[in-house]
């Protein structure tokens, strides 16, 4: 296999052998934990399925950020068509801000609810899923807290038969779990990213210095990149929050830019994404107590809807209470360190 791009690893043969050994060790750990490795060819509609058929033999590995020993899931794939060696992807990661929020929320809520005493995981083989439409990455016995189903991922890509569900993003995800997997979930709803509100409002008070920001879903970014008010969804969580707080209004096709605007109190109009199904947006709206909402079909329509949205005194999150979601946080995954 030829090496493309600028990356030239030193001592190539040794490097490949080290990667192969790491892959074998990972396979042994996976088997010991009773999991099946993800099969990218089955994940149609997910980021894994965006590879070409020849690339699907190279498994993209999810990122786990450990919070006091508990693995918290985060989806941050490499940008494809980069160097591939020994079944591993190289090159920069996508760093879509909405996909990076989960472990941050878990760490913040864990600190709040567990206290300052040192803690350790009760069982480090169970992954905690939180923010995102990433249910299809879960395995048997993993813990679900505010996660959603991805409306573009086929049912067969979900490999679990049993989950420990504490909360889900919204009622559409709850109904999907019951219908497709026979898994009961409590009627506790909300995107855990909403629990960052107090912290982000303290860091980024509303001081608008620009009329508008346009933050698209990562998969729509190319369509909006030339717009003068474009802001990349690949910026950091704090940069996104600061940009939204510094804008009089937001137009977005990104679910978590929408979430940030609503919790910061910035008028926002959602644009329908040509790539993302409406499922996750409707799941979020219903999970925060709404029965109606506006979705513009394009940027021009969104700009026409903005004056009415800006003039509205209605608080979009008025019907949602964060307390049940906070109370459902799985503190039992930790114990006081001895």
CATH number at residue 239: 3.40.50
Asked whether residue 173 falls in the same domain as residue 221, the answer is no
Asked whether residue 102 falls in the same domain as residue 239, the answer is no
In a domain, 174, yes or no: yes
Q: In terms of residue numbers, what domain contains 186? A: 12-190+328-336
Q: Who's near 94: CB < 8 A, 6+ residues apart?
A: 76, 77, 78, 79, 218, 234
In a domain, 7, yes or no: no
What are the tokens at 37? 């490795």
What are the tokens at 280? 């996750």
* pLDDT single digits (tens) 15-56: 455 555 655 665 665 555 554 444 433 333 333 333 333 333
pLDDT value of position 5? 46
Number of H helices, E strands in the chain: 10, 13
> Cβ of 123: how many Cβ atoms within 10 Å?
12
Asked whether residue 276 falls in the same domain as residue 143, the answer is no
Task: Please identify every stretch of the chain with a pLDDT value under 50, giving residue numbers as ranges.
Answer: 1-9, 11-13, 15, 35-58, 82
Asked whether residue 260 falls in the same domain as residue 119, the answer is no
Is residue 127 a contact partner of residue 140, using CB atoms and an 8 Å limit?
A: no
Number of domain units in the chain? 2
Asked whether residue 285 falls in the same domain as residue 160, the answer is no
Stated as kind and residue range, the H or E segment containing 222 is helix 221-224
pLDDT value of position 41? 34
In a domain, 318, yes or no: no
Asked whether residue 27 falls in the same domain as residue 175, the answer is yes
Asked whether residue 159 falls in the same domain as residue 209, the answer is no
* pLDDT single digits (tens) 268-282: 999 999 999 999 999
Asked whether residue 219 falls in the same domain as residue 251, the answer is yes
Is residue 147 a contact partner of residue 134, using CB atoms and an 8 Å limit?
A: yes
Asked whether residue 202 falls in the same domain as residue 304, the answer is yes
Asked whether residue 253 falls in the same domain as residue 304, the answer is yes
Asked whether residue 41 falls in the same domain as residue 145, the answer is yes
In a domain, 4, yes or no: no
Can you give the pTM of this predicted structure? 0.80
pLDDT value of position 153? 80
Closest CA to 111 of 100, 99, 119: 119
pLDDT value of position 87? 55
Q: Is 42 helix (H, G, I), strand (E, B) or coil?
A: helix
**In whole angstroms, what is the distance from residue 41 CA to residue 38 CA?**
9
In a domain, 316, yes or no: no
Asked whether residue 54 falls in the same domain as residue 197, the answer is no
């Amino acid at each position: 296999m030829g090496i493309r791009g600028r990356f030239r690893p030193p001592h190539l043969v040794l490097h490949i052998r080290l990667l192969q050994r790491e892959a074998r060790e990972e396979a042994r750990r996976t088997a010991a934990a009773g999991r099946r490795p993800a099969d990218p060819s089955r994940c149609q509609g997910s980021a894994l399925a965006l590879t070409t058929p020849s690339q699907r033999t190279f498994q993209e590995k999810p990122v786990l950020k450990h919070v006091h020993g508990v693995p918290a899931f985060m989806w941050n794939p490499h940008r494809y068509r980069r160097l591939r060696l020994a079944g591993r992807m190289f090159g920069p990661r996508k760093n879509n801000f909405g996909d990076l929020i989960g472990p941050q929320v878990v760490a913040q809520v864990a600190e709040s609810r567990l206290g300052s005493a040192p803690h350790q995981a009760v069982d480090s083989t169970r992954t905690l899923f939180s923010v995102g439409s990433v249910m299809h990455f879960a395995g048997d016995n993993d813990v679900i807290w505010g996660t959603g189903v991805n409306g573009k991922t086929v049912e067969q890509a979900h490999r679990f038969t049993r989950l420990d569900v504490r909360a889900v993003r919204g009622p559409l995800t709850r109904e999907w779990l019951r219908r497709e997997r026979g898994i009961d979930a409590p009627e506790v709803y909300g995107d855990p990213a909403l629990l960052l509100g107090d912290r982000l409002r303290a860091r980024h008070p509303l001081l608008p210095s620009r009329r508008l920001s346009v933050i698209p879903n990562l998969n729509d970014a190319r369509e909006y990149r030339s717009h003068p008010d474009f802001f990349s969804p690949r910026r950091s969580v704090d940069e996104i929050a600061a940009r939204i707080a510094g804008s009089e209004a937001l137009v977005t096709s990104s679910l978590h830019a929408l979430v940030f605007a609503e919790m910061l109190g910035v008028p926002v109009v959602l644009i329908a994404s040509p790539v993302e199904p409406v499922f996750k947006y409707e799941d979020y709206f219903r999970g925060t107590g709404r029965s109606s909402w506006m979705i513009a079909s394009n940027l021009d329509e969104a700009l026409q809807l903005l004056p009415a949205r800006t003039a509205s005194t209605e608080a979009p999150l008025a019907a949602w209470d964060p307390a049940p979601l906070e109370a459902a946080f799985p503190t039992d995954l930790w114990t006081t360190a001895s």
